[in-house]
């Protein structure tokens, strides 16, 4: 049965949003399952991937190549058609960097109303750590004619939404999932990452719960009970609508997934994130560290 084995990797709780590595290993040959890798490091998929998985490039496939925007509807339909996805297909997404970009993929899939989308709990990290099979063969599938139905724009927050929350003009609760040093303004971006904003700090009123607190050492999500306690301690209990953000929207997609798909809270992802907000003119910021200019 397709739903069997969809469970938390190391607990008795279950979630339809996740599949375990055991489940995926048992369903690699299932024609009703399409495995899709969404990684950010170049050449990773080409070197090796889950057998039968197709590759969606975060840069080139799930983002518009001209606009600062997610992939357009027609391009998304073409992408899923080429990957042989049908309305009754169970899609399993996974990727590198703790599934950040795979979670972005799940968010985009949700915007376009794709049903039966799962995340491989633990992503590439756990699959490889368990010495699961890998392949460098690019699979060939007969294309479908996938068509998007309703587009759910309510899953996406924009700059005015973030400003309204910062100024107390909406009841949305902001959650910044970057590191404590990014949140405070001590650093502009993680080590080795080029800076894209001229201001440091965070959006006023935002709670800070770094994304990594939602996962265990092996990269799998903590149990729903643990997640509820984690976010409740920061004032996030699901009573108010939530806006997640980070630097470019990928880490915040990971937290969006935890809050929305595992806990069932009402959540929007602000993919403009600090790259947009930290460069915007005339918006309020908090910067406890006092840094004000990144350009040199």
Judge contact between 226 and 243, C-beta under 8 A.
no
Tell me which residue of 102, 80, 99 sits closest to 34, measured CA to CA: 80
Instruction: Identify the H or E element spanning 267.
Output: strand 267-269
Sequence-ordered alpha helix ranges (H) in 172-216: 180-184
The whole-angstrom distance between residue 155's C-alpha and the CA centroid of its chain comes to 12
Q: Tell the residue number behind the tokens 């490889």, with chain if given.
A: 128
The whole-angstrom distance between residue 221's C-alpha and the CA centroid of its chain comes to 13
12 backbone φψ class: left, alpha, beta (φ>0; ψ -120 to 50): alpha
Tell me which residue of 230, 201, 199 sits closest to 214, measured CA to CA: 230
- CA of 77: how far to CAs of 35, 71, 81, in Å? 17, 10, 6
Distance between CA atoms of 128 and 120, rounded to whole angstroms?
12
Judge contact between 237 and 260, C-beta under 8 A.
no
Instruction: Identify the H or E element spanning 270.
Output: none
- CA of 112: how far to CAs of 108, 148, 287, in Å? 6, 6, 36
Catalytic residues: 246
């Amino acid at each position: 049965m397709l739903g069997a084995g969809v469970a938390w990797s190391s607990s008795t709780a279950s979630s339809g949003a996740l599949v375990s590595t055991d489940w995926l290993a048992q369903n690699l040959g299932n024609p009703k399952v399409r495995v899709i890798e969404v990684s950010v490091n170049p050449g990773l998929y080409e070197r090796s991937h889950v057998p039968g998985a197709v590759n969606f490039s975060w840069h080139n496939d799930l983002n518009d190549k001209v606009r600062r925007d997610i992939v357009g509807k027609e391009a998304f339909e073409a992408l899923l058609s080429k990957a042989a996805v049908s309305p009754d297909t169970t899609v399993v997404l996974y990727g590198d960097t703790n599934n950040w970009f795979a979670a972005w993929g799940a968010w985009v899939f949700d915007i376009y109303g794709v049903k039966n989308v799962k995340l491989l709990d633990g992503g590439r990290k756990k699959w490889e750590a368990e010495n699961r099979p890998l392949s460098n063969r690019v699979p060939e599938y007969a294309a479908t004619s996938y068509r998007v139905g309703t587009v759910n724009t309510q899953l996406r927050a924009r700059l005015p939404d973030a400003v309204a929350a910062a100024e107390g003009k909406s009841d949305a609760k902001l959650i910044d999932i970057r590191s404590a040093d990014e949140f405070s303004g001590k650093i502009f971006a993680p080590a080795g990452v080029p800076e894209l904003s001229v201001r440091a700090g965070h959006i006023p009123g935002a709670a800070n719960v770094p994304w990594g607190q939602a996962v265990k050492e092996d990269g799998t999500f903590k149990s729903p009970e643990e997640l509820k306690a984690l976010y409740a301690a920061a004032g996030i209990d699901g009573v108010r609508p939530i806006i997640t953000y980070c630097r470019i929207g990928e880490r915040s997609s990971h937290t969006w997934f935890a809050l929305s798909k595992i806990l069932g809270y009402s959540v929007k992802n602000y993919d403009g994130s600090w790259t947009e907000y930290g460069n915007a003119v005339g918006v309020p910021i908090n910067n406890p560290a006092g840094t004000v200019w990144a350009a040199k």
